[in-house]
Structure 1
Amino acid sequence: MSRLHLFDLDGTLIHGSAAAIEISRQLGMEAQIHELERDFAAGRLDPVGFATAACALWGEALTEAVVTAAFDGAPWLDGVRDVWADIAARSERCAVISLSPHFFVERLLAWGADAAHGSRWPEVPLRGAVDPAGILDAAAKVRIADELCAGYGLERADCVAYGDSMSDALLFAAVPVSVAVNADHHVRDIASLSYTGRDLREAYALVGARVH
């Protein structure tokens, strides 16, 4: 039987940070993005509001070179590519589903992800308006997981989810195995497994001990 591993990005694959924070760090806008992150965490901004505010903040200052520097400099967990290579060797699948901008998330395809879904922001440099229909939320993670399952001939019962925060809670509730990675209480209390550390191989090993 095959399996689909579903990974969150911010706070999960990236330790203690997020794509928007890493991009803002490159632009010297850390204070401003942390304010937006606080508003989002407190529910004062929804995903569309956050994306709209971040696009306005970065504007045409955001270039492909900035995105590359942010991606390359992000504090990734160790062993991401090793884990995804092992998943492929087992003839299983792995995907990233994140609320972060697509132009950051999709770079993980080069690391071995079978699919990478992020919110559809305007293309870089950010000249267009945010289309609310393209911005993902917690429910969209479940919808995309179902679409991926359909494409791979799998079911929710074949899925393992890895995440860290409230945006992962609906997905955790929808699949049989879930791993809280450096997580807050929103998902740590409902996850099948919990991991704290800096190496994805160790979190993945917990899953292996349970399902393989």
Structure 2
Amino acid sequence: MSRLHLFDLDGTLLHGSAAAIEISRQLGCEREIDALERDFFDGLIDPAGFAAAACALWGEALTDAVVSAAFESAPWLEGIKDVWADIEARGERCAVISLSPQFFVERLTGWGAHATRGSRWPAIPFREPVDPAGILNAEAKVRIADELCAAYGLTRADCVAYGDSMSDARLFAAVPVSVAVNADHHVRDVASLAYNGLDLREAYALVADGRG
């Protein structure tokens, strides 16, 4: 039986960080993005509001070179490429679904992800406003999972989800196997399995060895 492995990005593949944080670190505006992250966590702004504020914060200073530097220096979990290579060898599929900008998320196809889905931000450098319709939310993760299943000839019953935050909870509820990766109790309590550590191979082993 084939499977579709669905990975979150921020806080999951990226340990203790997020795409927006890593980009802001390159631009020297960590304090400002931290404030936006707190507002988002507290529910004061939604994903579209966060994207609009971050877009205004970075402005035309954001370039492809900055995004590349942020991606390369980010605190990724160990073993991501190994896990995705094993998934490929098993004839299974893996995808990344993230609320973060697609121009960051899509770089993971070079590491072996079969598909990446992130929020649609304006082209870099920013000269247009954020279109709220292109910004993903928790509900969109389930919709995209269904779209990917249809594309690969699979169903939700064939899916495994990996995530860390409440934005993953709806997807966790929709699939039979889920792995809370370095997550707080809100997400661990709804997950099938839980992992704390710095190596994705160990989290993946919980599923690959038959426990999930």
TM-score normalised over the length of structure 1: 0.99
Structure 1 residue 126 corresponds to structure 2 residue 122:
no
Other-structure match for 2:76: 76
Cα deviation 1:167-196 (Å, max 9, x = unaligned): 000000000000000002221111000000
**% identity of equivalent residues:** 78
Structure 1 residue 87 corresponds to structure 2 residue 55:
no
Structure 1 residue 39 corresponds to structure 2 residue 39:
yes
Superposed, 1:189-208 pairs within 5 Å as 189-208=189-208
Superposed, 1:165-176 pairs within 5 Å as 165-176=165-176
Other-structure match for 1:12: 12
Cα distance, 1:149 vs structure 2: 0.2
TM-score normalised over the length of structure 2: 0.99
Cα deviation 1:185-208 (Å, max 9, x = unaligned): 221111000000000000000011
Other-structure match for 1:55: 55
Superposed, 1:127-142 pairs within 5 Å as 127-142=127-142
Unaligned runs of 5+ in 2: none
The number of residues matched between the two structures is 212
SS at match of 2:117: strand
Unaligned runs of 5+ in 1: none
Aligned-residue RMSD, C-alpha: 0.8
SS at match of 2:77: coil
Q: Which amino acid aligns with 2:183?
A: A
> Alpha carbons of 1:211 and 1:155: their partners in 2 closer, same or farther (altered >3 Å)?
farther
Other-structure match for 2:149: 149
Cα distance, 1:127 vs structure 2: 1.2
Q: What is the rounded CA distance, in whole Å, between the counterparts of 2:126 and 2:164 in structure 1? A: 28
